[in-house]
Structure 1
Amino acid sequence: MIETKGAQTSARLAEAMLDLVQRHGYSGTGLNTVLQHAGAPKGSLYFHFPQGKEELGEKAVELAARQFRSLVTDQALASASPIEVVRRVIDTLADLFTDSDFQLGCPVSVVTLEMGAQSERLREACANAFESWIAPVTDQLVAHGRPRPAARATATAVVSMVEGALILSRAQRSTEPLSCAAEALAVLLNDGAEASA
């Protein structure tokens, strides 16, 4: 399906917002900078996002959610076990951090921390993003024999630990927290597998 010029511009604006939020945070990202980064004409922002920065931020969070969910589901299809999925996802995130010289952060956690108490719209978008990551991990664990309630609790812990490790890795400019999270999650997932066997 061929995208219209308008759809392409809208997508470029959301991608630019996402990239800038990852690097500078939501508050540190101005709309003029987004337009410049996207190579979009000035009038296009309010044409595509009439509610301004908040609407554009919501679309950027939704885009980040889709990208990370795709990463998880792609790894789930390519891996034999939940432990392998988690290790591959963490390795991919570590590579992204290293390649960006630790400039990129998780845009969903950034927006949650900056705007979650100020904007119900953005808080809800972030909650939906996290849920979209918990759900496929839950499904993967259920497919490997875990009861759904236990699988969901474990999946929530997995996403929480990875998010925390991303924050520590960025602060320390090191992938060691991600490596530590991978090791701890391997123990958690292995213990859970033994318990459900």
Structure 2
Amino acid sequence: MTETKGARTSARLVEAMLELIQARGYAGTGLNTVVEHAGAPKGSLYFHFPEGKEALGERAVELAAGRFRDLLAESAAAPDGPATGAEGAGAVVWRVIDVLARMVEDSDYQLGCPVSVVTLEMGAQSERLRDACANAFDSWITPVADHLAAHGRPLPEARVLATAVVSTVEGAMIVSRAQRSVEPLRCAAHAVTLLLDGPDATTPKAAS
């Protein structure tokens, strides 16, 4: 089905909101700036998002959540990945962290996780945005838990470990930005591999 002009405009607005949240934060992103960044017609924002900034922020969080799920799926489906049985359960998470480390470094430490940004800024002020962020984190925890369960972990234990993994990665991204170094993310990758695969696990090499 061909995407309509309105759908394309709506998508550009959501994309612009996501990019600006990453660079400026939610509170620092004004709606006029979003419209300008998206190259959208004036008045289009309230046409597509009559409920205003919270509705647009919710969609941006959903977009970020979907992209991270795609990254998880792509990492799990890598030809030399755990599906072949050749690697431990931590290899998928290692590959994901490697991609995140390069993203943070390439942005000169300006870009972080928009979901954590919105959670920290708005979690106590907007139930709508808090729910969107909670759902985003859960949408990452669940596939990681399923991956661990496929590697033999009982599902309740897999859920606990997956929650710890996602929390570790989120925290490492914040510390990496503060220190202007990807070393915290590399340390997180190593720690997750030890947690999931044990002290004898072979840690993959970071991509160049």
Once residues 82 and 62 of structure 1 are traced to their aligned partners in structure 2, the CA distance between those partners, rounded to angstroms, is 26
Report the alpha carbon displacement of residue 64 of structure 1 after superposing the two structures with TM: 0.2
In structure 2, the residue matched to 1:52 is: 52
Question: Given the alignment, which residue of 180, 183, 196 partners 2:187?
Answer: 180
Q: Does the alignment pair 1:40 with 2:40?
A: yes
1:59-100 deviation digits (Å, cap 9, x = unpaired): 000000000011011111112142110110000001101111
1:148 to 152, 155, 166: 155
Deviations 1:111-169 (A, max 9, x none): 00000000000000000000000011001001111100000000000000000000000
What residue is the counterpart of 1:113 in the other structure? 120
Deviation of 1:174 after TM superposition, in Å, equals: 0.5
In structure 2, the partner of 1:166 is 173
Distance 1:28 1:53 in 2: 12
Task: State the distance in 2 between where 1:72 and 1:83 align.
Answer: 12
Note closer, same or farther for the CA distance 1:193–1:141 as it changes in structure 2 (3 Å cut): farther
Looking at structure 2, the residues matched to 192 and 129 of structure 1 have their Cα atoms a distance apart, in angstroms, of: 31
Partner of 1:29: 29
Whole-angstrom CA distance in 2 between matches of 1:33 and 1:154:
40
The one-letter amino acid of 1:33's match is: T
Q: State the partner residue of 2:205.
A: none
The answer (yes or no) to whether the contact 1:26–1:110 under 8 Å persists in 2 is yes
Runs of 4+ deviating beyond 3 Å: 191-194
Structure 2: give runs of 5+ residues left out of the alignment.
Answer: 83-87, 202-208
Residue 18 of structure 1: aligned partner: 18
Amino acid at match of 2:107: S
Q: Percent identity?
A: 70
Change (3 A) 1:66 1:192: farther
RMSD of Structure 2 on Structure 1 (CA): 1.4
- Indicate the residue corresponding to 1:100 in structure 2: 107
1:126 equivalent to 2:133? Answer yes
Q: Distance in 2 between matches of 1:32 and 1:189?
A: 46
Call closer, same or farther: CA 1:155–1:192 in 2, change over 3 Å. farther
Distance, in Å, in 1 between the alignment partners of 2:56 and 2:66 is: 15
Equivalent residue letter for 1:30: G
Residue 191 (structure 1) shift = 3.2
Moved more, 82-91 or 50-59: 82-91
- Secondary structure of 1:28's counterpart equals coil
Whether contact under 8 Å (2:89, 2:197) holds in the other structure is no
Amino acid in the other structure paired with 1:19: E
- Alignment partner of 2:77: what SS? helix
What is the CA–CA distance in structure 1 between the aligned matches of 2:120 and 2:200, rounded to whole Å? 33
Tell me if the contact between 1:76 and 1:82 (Cα under 8 Å) persists in the aligned partners.
no
Question: Runs of 5+ in structure 1 lacking a partner?
Answer: none
